[in-house]
Amino acid sequence: MKLKLFLSLLFSALILFSNVALSATPKTLVFSAIPDQDETRLKQRFDDIAKYLEQKLGVPVKYVPVKSYAAVITAFRNNQVQLAWFGGLSGVQARLKVPGSQAIAQGIEDTKFRTYIIANHSTGLKPSDKFPTGIAGKTFTFGSKGSTSGRLMPQYYIEKHMHKKVGDIFKRVGFSGNHSKTIALVQSGAYEVGAVNYQVWEKELKEGKIDTSKVSVIWKTPTYPDYQWTIRGDVDKVWGKGFTDKVKKALLELKDPELLARFPRSGFIEAKNSDYQPILDTAKSIGLID
């Protein structure tokens, strides 16, 4: 009896003291990123970026992991996050919700981004330059519901070529959640066909994570602009004039291949809001944005 009580007391004391890390420093720049791949490693991916920015900007910088694309947009809109690594669509949505916010940098690869349509070999679908109309009647998975390369663009091109809504083309349509998962699901055959961010595909291919005897790319979309860094318009008021430019400069000067591999990009170049007009038009045309 006494032992039990003691243990319970010990346990509660542990709870009390194990969490004293209550920082309330007001001027921390908080950034986030869309959870587009391997969620268990989001923190490992971006904590070092936070360190880099902190050192370059001279203000505290913190990365917060977020579970969904929509949640990053909401956090950005609520000013709980001031800087974000968005996808094409999520960036457009975020900037619509937060007037004054700007796209400041994009990956070199992001000017010419692509989506790969991948298929399990059991389907018998072969790689081709022409749109694979044979995907009709198969099971199909997108990535996240809010993804540009995993949803918006593939949906747009599929509907354009098939002249039907995706719901009417496929036997079943799913949303895997992220690109890594899309690859895993199509490889395992849970879905026969899928749409995946080409960067994630190439990266996992290089890392030997993909079993090419089971799954391969059957079609590549035309290029479109995708990921970008977007910052809120009111950061200069909080961190001083010219802060936006400082952040932009820090990102453009990011040359460490180790850090760039986290995105994965070969470097960052300037971006502006108007670069993403095609994404906005596409999103409107398929009804994702009113």
Partner 1 sequence: MDSVYKHSRAWKVSWLFVLLAGFSLFFSDIEIISLEPWQELKRLFLGLLTPDWSNFSEIIQAFLQTLAFAILGVAGGSAVGFLLAQIFHWRWIQISCAFIRAIHELFWALIFLQIFGLHPLTGLLAIGLPYAATFAKVYAEILEEGDKSALQAISRNASTISTFFYARLPDLWEHFKTYTSYRLECGLRSSAILGFVGLPTLGYTLSSAFMEGHYSVVWALLLLFYLLIATIRYWVRPALLPVYIIAAPFIVANDSTISFDNVQRFFTEDIIPAPIMRGDSLSESWHWLSDLLVNQALPGIANTVVLTQIALVASGILTLLFFPLISSHFFKPVGRTLGHVLLVILRTTPEYILAYILLQLWGPSMLPAIVALALHNGAIIGHLIGRYSLEIQLRADAGRGLNRYFYELLPRLYGQFLAFLFYRWEIIMRESAILGILGIATLGFYIDSSIQELHFDKAMILIFITALLNVLVDALSRYLRAKLRLTTNVDCRASNDYCTARE
Residue 257 preceded by cis peptide, ω within 30: no
Rule CB under 8 A: say whether 47 interacts with partner 1.
no
Rule CB under 8 A: say whether 180 interacts with partner 1.
yes
- Longest CA–CA separation in the chain, Å: 76
User: Among the candidate windows 123-131, 141-149, 259-267, 273-281, which touches partner 1 by CB under 8 A?
Assistant: 141-149
Rule CB under 8 A: say whether 149 interacts with partner 1.
no
- Please say whether the beta carbons of 229 and 103 come within 8 A: yes
x/- track of binding to partner 1 for residues 48-87 (CB under 8 A) = ----------------x-xxxxxx-xxx-xxxx-------
x/- track of binding to partner 1 for residues 236-255 (CB under 8 A) = --------------------
x/- track of binding to partner 1 for residues 99-138 (CB under 8 A) = ---------------------x-x----------------
**What does the radius of gyration of the chain's CA atoms come to, in whole angstroms?**
21
Q: Which of 101, 116, 147 is nearest to 271 (CA)?
A: 101
- H/E stretch holding 188 reads helix 179-188
Q: Measure the N-to-C terminal CA separation of the chain; round to a whole number of Å.
A: 64
Q: Could you tell me which residues come within 8 angstroms of residue 234 by beta carbon, excluding any fewer than 6 positions away?
A: 79, 100
**What is the side-by-side strand order in the sheet with 228-231?**
61-63, 29-33, 83-86, 228-231, 102-107, 268-270
User: Among the candidate windows 48-56, 185-193, 196-204, 234-242, which touches partner 1 by CB under 8 A?
Assistant: 185-193
* Total residue count of the chain as it appears in this document: 290
Question: Given the complex with partner 1, which of 182 and 221 has the nearer CB atom?
Answer: 182
Site residues (CB under 8 A) for partner 1, limited to 157-176: 172, 174-175
Question: Given the complex with partner 1, which of 189 and 278 has the nearer CB atom?
Answer: 189
Question: Given the complex with partner 1, which of 23 and 129 has the nearer CB atom?
Answer: 23
Q: What are phi and psi of 177, to 5 degrees?
A: 115, -50
How many whole angstroms separate alpha carbon 104 and alpha carbon 91? 11
Residue ranges binding partner 1 (CB under 8 A)? 4-5, 7-9, 11-12, 15-16, 18-20, 22-25, 28, 30, 38-40, 64, 66-71, 73-75, 77-80, 93, 97, 120, 122, 139, 144-146, 172, 174-175, 177-178, 180-181, 184-185, 188-191, 288, 290
